[in-house]
Amino acid sequence: MAGLNFLHIDINSYFATMLQQENPDLRGKPVGVIKDKGRTCIIAASKEAKKLGVKTGCNVKEAKILAPHIILVPAEFDIYLDATKKLKKIFENITPDAEIFSLDEAFIPLKTLKYIYPNPHKLAIKTKLTIKEVLGEWITCNIGIAKNRLLAKIASEIAPKDSIFEINEQNEEEILKTVNFSDVCGVGFKLEARLKELGVEHPYQIRTIPTDLLETKFGLFLAEALIQIGRGEGSYILDRSSAAHMKSVSRTITLFKLCGNETQIKSVLYNLAEEVTYKVRRMDMAGRQVGFFLQGEEKTISAHRTLKQYIRHTNEMVEIIEDLYKNRKRTFRVIKFGVFLSYLKPLKEVPPTLFSEWYKNEKLYKSLDAISQKYGLFTVRSGLLTQVKDIIRPEVTGYLGDKKYQFMEE
Amino acid sequence: MYEEVNAKIKVAGVYENNLFWPRKFVWNGKLYEIEQITLTSELRDAGVKKRLYSVLSKGTVYRLLFNRDNETWFLRALWLD
């Protein structure tokens, strides 16, 4: 068991499995999770649907051809987030060093546990049982065991569903020679395609490419990461534990249909900015880079501005977005919207401003946030949002990029 | 598919291990016995705490929502084949 330093836990088909746990009628059946009623993209599939070829990202029409009896169910992000909080408690009961990696994945470092759990396989079995006890009998997971995060994650990716798999000195090379990049975290399909141009289809083959060629093609930073992956060494991509605080808060939304109405577009941007600034204030932070993007009809406009002063109030962010927007000529109808506030810093580290307006705003937004805390977000809303029928409410993403915010109130 | 209902309901249940477990509920004057609680989830709308009970009654899943701040119960949705 020497040299096995990490467990990687990955809940099988999380979004669909949780809905099957909730509804026994869905168990054992192909389920396609969609974002909302009427949506046409499958954002997650149950293991039964995956067996029939339904993949994340395929559209409902394709899914119905592959699995004619597929049951479409809207995602329940609140349920997923709560289940993740329960998983976090399970893992932190094992060790306070447990790292939640995404909504349905976590790493458990084993180095400090070797006297309590000398056998990682026994710990893995115990963890699987605890997950079932807490989340429900239908919930299964894969657990990978290896010397570092990279290999532990590959182990859980390639393991059969609901099983435990170990990568050790005996099988490591063989796995690096055969595993596909789709099972290697940090190598997306674009990077995979660029590697293929060099004749690299499996991580081990990276070892055969001269370093200077990798550096020329991918840049110093990515080349180093690829070399590490090729050697089966820990990759920086999987270490998300170092950031002391969030650097950026963003929010995107894809609407049901294309939108060309100016008032509606501004309302959506305002709605998203309201959520972003609320989160930033809840974390006691402020940021000084504001940006937005709009996409639709195969066109995009985007802009950002880096400010000298830090901001955290919705009206400040909206003013900047409006200013950025009016300088961009939109020639298309919009389906996807996004806003962000970045270069975040804890408020206590931000130099105090001399503008009295800022303090007035701070007082106002503190009161508004207190109302939101008591009665729910958007209980008090801007006049710009009173005409909006369906307020866009916060939702969690699978990547869980805002986990510092999501877990702060626990 | 789940059908949104969002109607006030009356709920009876038991407290066990510091948690409330619903056993039956009344919706539109009709009594529904709960055979199984398949999932419980703690939800938040900003600072407002809610608890969602997904329950089975005669083979149908009902989502019962308890607002922990004002102690009111709602039938949020039910599963229709």
Q: How far apart (Å, rounded) are the C-alpha atoms in residues A184 and B39? A: 33
pLDDT tens-place string over residues A84-135: 999 999 999 999 999 999 999 999 999 999 899 999 999 999 999 999 999 9
A329 Cβ contact list (under 8 Å, min separation 6): A301
Q: Residue A241: its pLDDT value, please? A: 55
Contact residues on chain B for A85, CB-CB shorter than 8 A: 42
A112 Cβ contact list (under 8 Å, min separation 6): A95, A97
CB contact under 8 A, A23 and B79: yes
Does the pLDDT value for residue A242 go beyond 80? no
Structure tokens at A257: 């249909």
Distance from CA of B30 to the nearest CA of A (A): 22
Edge-first strand listing for the sheet containing A31-34: A42-45, A31-34, A71-74
Structure tokens at A156: 């859980």
Q: Residue A108: its pLDDT value, please? A: 97
Does the pLDDT value for residue A1 go beyond 60? no
Closest CB to B39 among A21, A74, A374? A21
DSSP-derived secondary structure letter, A241: -
Distance from CA of A280 to the nearest CA of B (A): 13
Contact residues on chain A for B59, CB-CB shorter than 8 A: 25
Q: For residue A251, give the nearest of A402, A357, A128 by alpha carbon.
A: A402
Closest CB to A22 among B45, B61, B69? B61
Contact residues on chain B for A21, CB-CB shorter than 8 A: 38-39
Within 13 Å of residue A350, how many CA atoms lie on the same side as its CB? 18
Question: What does each C-alpha distance from A96 to A89, A147, A240, A338 come to in angstroms?
Answer: 9, 19, 15, 35
Distance from CA of B7 to the nearest CA of A (A): 19
Given a contact cutoff of 8 angstroms between Cβ atoms, the answer to whether A94 and A108 are in contact is: yes
Closest CB to A79 among B36, B41, B79? B41
Share of chain A above pLDDT 70, in %: 96
Q: Residue A181: its pLDDT value, please? A: 83
Structure tokens at A237: 């991509």
pLDDT tens-place string over residues A4-36: 999 999 999 999 999 999 999 999 999 999 998
Closest CB to A22 among B38, B42, B46? B38
A195 Cβ contact list (under 8 Å, min separation 6): A181, A187, A201, A206, A226
A347 Cβ contact list (under 8 Å, min separation 6): A284, A285, A286, A312
B48 close to A (CB below 8 A): yes
Q: Residue A380: its pLDDT value, please? A: 85
Number of inter-chain CB pairs under 8 A, A vs B:
58
Question: What does each C-alpha distance from A126 to A94, A120, A133, A159, B45 come to in angstroms?
Answer: 10, 10, 11, 18, 34
A254 Cβ contact list (under 8 Å, min separation 6): A35, A335, A336, A337
Contact residues on chain B for A374, CB-CB shorter than 8 A: 47-48, 69
B64 forms beta bridges with B53, B75
Q: Residue A156: its pLDDT value, please? A: 96
User: pLDDT-based confidence at A2, cuts 50/70/90?
Assistant: low
Contact residues on chain A for B48, CB-CB shorter than 8 A: 373-376
